[in-house]
Chains A and B, each alone.
Chain A
Amino acid sequence: MSVIDGPGAVTESLAGGGTPHGIGTSLPSADAPAKTQGTYPYAADLWAEGLLWAAVLRSPYPHARIVRIDTGEAAAMPGVRAVLTHEDVPGDAMHGRLVADRPVFAKDIVRHHGEPIAAVAADHPDTARLAAAAILVEYEVLEPVTDPEKAFAAEPLHPDGNLIRHIPLRFGDPDTVGEVIVEGLYRVGRQDPAPIGAEAGLAVPRPDGGVELYVASTDPHADRDIAAACFGLEADHVKVVVTGVPGAMGDREDSGIQLPLGLLALRTGCPVKFVATREESFLGHAHRHPTLLRYRHHADAEGRLVKVEAQILLDAGAYADASSDALAAAVAFAAGPYVVPHVFVEGWAVRTNNPPSGHVRGEGALQVCTAYEGQMDKLAAKLGLEPAEIRMRNVLATGDLLPTGQSVTCPAPVGELLKAVRDADLPPLPDGDDESQWLLPGGTSGAGEPGAVRRGVGYALGMVHVLGAEGTDEVSTATVRVHDGRATVICAAVETGQGFTTLARQIVQEVLGVEDVRVLPSDTDQPPAGPAARGRHTWVSGGAVERAAKMVRTQLLQPLAAKFGMSVELLTIADGKITSYDGVLSTTVAETLDGKELWATAQCRPHPTDRLDETGQGDAFVGLTFCAIRAVVDVDIELGAVRVVELAVAQDVGRVLNPRQLAARIEAGVTQGVGLALMEDLRAPRGIVKRPSLTGYALPTALDAPEVRIVKLVEERDVVAPFGAKAVSAVPVVTSPAAVAAAVRAATGRPISRLPIRPQAAIVKPPA
């Protein structure tokens, strides 16, 4: 079955013969009923007897020297139990994901608006907030560095300097020149992951001097290690328990929440709870890197790419976080899924006083996709070719080289994907005379006028890597236990809503033939599984679950096979029954178990990768995934209002593991991309975040979200990946903004070089 058949097929499989199970079926999520009924426990719902409430004091300035902090008045307030500043951090004062460059609490200097300075625990949330406001901080306000281009020459904002990473990529002959040259300058704004559930946590002190953190972490072991180092505790004295994660497009619950919580619990000896306001959430967690891109594309007269030159500047904000990874992706994919013999890229990630940037899915790859697809449209216009045609003449395929010198060994059906979206039927124009029934750009508010609406069609091809790059040790461990005809999966891979627990159940059902499979919640007492990012858990955690399940299977069948003198391979398990190939032997799993429990633990560790060298060369990626999107938009050319009518998606997925879940991931990803293309931009003029609320920061609603049509899923198995499946969530996010921009370009004839697309950029001025 394929999701292309549409929702009808899903319903059919649900109706036909009991619950679906195993790989390739639309097994529903076990959490779905609780989530829809509002009984699913998220971090903000946690409670402990006698808990205190935390509040964090954050910097109102993007750049300032702290002259003095006086907590006396706050600490003396009735109901206040503890006030902590940088002086109260018993362990490492600095922490960070790749580089420890971020203080727990700002000490001498604040480097971004919203940086934590102090934390308070009190017996009432309002008391805590009032006490935080009563902390006296004397600042000497400094000039913020907010233009990343000026960061190079500016005074160092940090002892580590302003340049976080520079990658000069050199591939081919620098002196080659194409017959046709186009240039472009592109900008991508600051997208916020805007997790819809409140960021919250509960810290509970332990009698042994340790602490337990109940947070919606997406990488519990890494968070535990950072927390333990800052608390001055051994790692086994800190336990991170993952609570229900209400949406995670990137990292959640920034360290500005987890670390103060744990410190306050340790100081007061009481459980401490914290629920971030929406404003704090916007100030605290990492955003997508705002990026400036300069491109020069060279092509021959037939439109074949000859050379790509690019300069890519990532605004990392005040701290390094995951900027190094984002830059590697941006530089490596700077030319996109096209064959280019000569590529020269200068990539920088620089420190500024802007809001912090970090991991938001598709980081790096998204920004360059917007730029190289803009360039492809420019080349097409200059050569008089159709946009789809020029792309088709340059598509990458398996066996081609990336500009990093890495050979593409996985399936790369880019041409097939492009052909699928190009040949798909276009959505019909609105028909009927009742214009009030048309959904025009500008929506239901009535301003749209059919006579001013132009329709545009645009294409984009995107690519992104799967798993961490550049030598990251990508490993996951899982345990499978079978007992009483039931199976349990223990794995620290976090279910962020991406569907890992559903997938784990399907894998065990497939391998062991046991229908009732449970996945235990994650915590750091389990072996590490790594972050829930870059499609890792489908690959490494799914792979670990499969191996463990297979080991259990062998343990289960070995005695039977020995008894009947046949090999394990000749036995099959389905629906809880074990049968031999010839049908002679037939028994049940429960009978064979005979009250015993079977356990197995396995690891999955893909082949290692290299760090990009000083010329940007190296086999840095384990896997790649590709996507083609055709966008159809309606633009009101007088008002500049844009409505995305339809996005047709063709994606390289390796193998469909759960059709319904896959379709949901693509729809969600595409919609996040549409948000970035049309409205999502967290404005921070002079480093001050403006309107950090869901009124000020518009997210796509159901009316803004387009019709998402999945026209093709290419199931060419990736032989090195478990089940041959590729990660699916990131690449639609990467590709859809560029597709929308291309369609608006086609509708208006205007150069769309900045995302989000502002109305004034989409207005066609009447001829004078």
Chain B
Amino acid sequence: MSTYAQQTAENVTLPTSLDEAVAALAAMPSAVPVAGGTDLMASVNAGLLRPAALVGLGRIAEIRGWQYADGAALLGAGLTHARMGRPDFAALIPALAAAARSAGPPQIRNAGTLGGNIVSAAPTGDALPVLAALEASVILAGPEADREIPVSHLLTGMDPLRPGELLAFVRIPLLHAPQTFLKATGRTGPGRAVASVALVVDPARRQVRCAVGAVAQVPLRPLEAEQWVAGLIDWDGERNLAPEACTAFGEYVAAACIPDQPGVELPPAAVQLRRTVAALSRRALGRALA
């Protein structure tokens, strides 16, 4: 007896609008949405996942571009890393463009999407610390109504995706001020982050916001260090800092993200990681204020 006969054809839907996609998900709750597939299909190939059905998001034109909305950019979840890395996008949100450019080899960047990076929520997701530092929010399209929540609520699992919901857009405030993204990989070619730092200067709110990626399950925000350094900056003047202040900021961020365990000496790997985070944060701040 052949086992070929037992295999049913894979159920794949290819909606062309968000509404159709949401309807397709509602019709088949066990279906899995797939955009670039760079994480999902690897899991399928490895036999870790065998979705009953797929909803392909690649043909939904409305989520593959961006638009402006009240001083913010509304990015479609289907924007690829390659698209975000291009100069016109980099002029808009430089840190996100830098993260997109560093996200893997060209084949991955051509397929992988912003929405996929958020939904798969890998600790090493390159866009995530940038979104955290920019205090971006996500717009979720659902069977009842759309809703908008801070990206950090989604990443931390405080407010997870509900059944039948799709990540449709990401809203990012446009700051018109320096922002940086730095990533340490331990190699020259594309690689996963050992640690990454996104840092944005927000002159309107007189804030410096920083997020550290890859060192924990979600990007970490060293809020005290941010406030401390924002207090040192002469916002009405040159907005620069002494190198010692940048170094101190780096140490502050690193100690906040990789805290001392009371009564235990940090293992060498953690000391090394802390040193990396300190160097990245110092460099990120120095470049943002240069």
Using a CB–CB cutoff of 8 Å, the interface residues on chain A facing chain B are: 78-79, 122-124, 126-127, 129, 277, 279, 439, 441-447, 449, 452, 638-641, 643, 678-679, 695, 698, 700-704, 759-760, 763
A443–B194 Cα distance when bound, in Å, is: 13
Which of B275-289 touch A at CB < 8 Å? 275-276, 279-280, 283
- A122: B residues at CB distance < 8 A: 3
- B268: A residues at CB distance < 8 A: 760
Contact A78 B181 (CB under 8 A): no
A446–B101 Cα distance when bound, in Å, is: 10
Number of interface residues of B (CB under 8 A): 34
A89–B101 Cα distance when bound, in Å, is: 54
Contact A643 B188 (CB under 8 A): yes
Contact B3 A760 (CB under 8 A): no
Contact B191 A698 (CB under 8 A): yes
Contact B190 A447 (CB under 8 A): no
CB of B41 to closest CB in A, whole Å: 13
CB of A356 to closest CB in B, whole Å: 23
Contact B280 A447 (CB under 8 A): yes
Which of B1-35 touch A at CB < 8 Å? 1-4, 6-7
CB of A131 to closest CB in B, whole Å: 10
- A702: B residues at CB distance < 8 A: 189
- B181: A residues at CB distance < 8 A: 446
CB of A276 to closest CB in B, whole Å: 14
Interface check B186, CB cutoff 8 A: yes
Using a CB–CB cutoff of 8 Å, the interface residues on chain B facing chain A are: 1-4, 6-7, 46-47, 98, 101-102, 105, 180-194, 268, 272, 275-276, 279-280, 283
- Residue of A with least CB distance to B282: A638
Which of A124, A447, A698, A701 is within 8 Å of B183, CB to CB?
A447
- B3: A residues at CB distance < 8 A: 78-79, 122-124, 126-127
Given A443-B190, A445-B184, A698-B187, 11 more pairs with CB closer than 8 A = A78-B2, A124-B2, A442-B183, A442-B185, A445-B102, A445-B183, A445-B193, A678-B187, A679-B187, A698-B189, A700-B189
Can you name 19 A-B pairs with beta carbons within 8 Å?
A: A123-B3, A123-B4, A126-B3, A442-B183, A442-B188, A443-B185, A444-B190, A445-B101, A447-B183, A447-B283, A638-B275, A639-B184, A639-B276, A640-B186, A641-B186, A641-B188, A678-B187, A701-B105, A701-B189
A479–B279 Cα distance when bound, in Å, is: 64
CB of A660 to closest CB in B, whole Å: 25
Q: A79-B2, A122-B3, A638-B279 are in contact. Are A445 and B186 (CB under 8 A)?
A: no
A78–B1 Cα distance when bound, in Å, is: 6
CB of B169 to closest CB in A, whole Å: 27
A79–B5 Cα distance when bound, in Å, is: 10
Which of B1, B6, B183, B275 is within 8 Å of A763, CB to CB?
B275
- B1: A residues at CB distance < 8 A: 78-79
- Residue of B with least CB distance to A700: B189
- Residue of A with least CB distance to B250: A638
- A127: B residues at CB distance < 8 A: 3
- A679: B residues at CB distance < 8 A: 186-187
A445–B103 Cα distance when bound, in Å, is: 8
Q: A123-B3, A638-B275 are in contact. Are A446 and B183 (CB under 8 A)?
A: yes
A707–B7 Cα distance when bound, in Å, is: 51
Which of A445, A639, A698, A760 is within 8 Å of B279, CB to CB?
A639
Contact B272 A704 (CB under 8 A): no
CB of A763 to closest CB in B, whole Å: 7
CB of B82 to closest CB in A, whole Å: 14
Contact B182 A446 (CB under 8 A): yes
Q: A78-B1, A79-B2, A763-B275 are in contact. Are A446 and B189 (CB under 8 A)?
A: no
A641–B185 Cα distance when bound, in Å, is: 8
- B186: A residues at CB distance < 8 A: 442, 640-641, 679, 759
- Residue of A with least CB distance to B192: A695
Which of B2, B6, B191, B272 is within 8 Å of A760, CB to CB?
B272
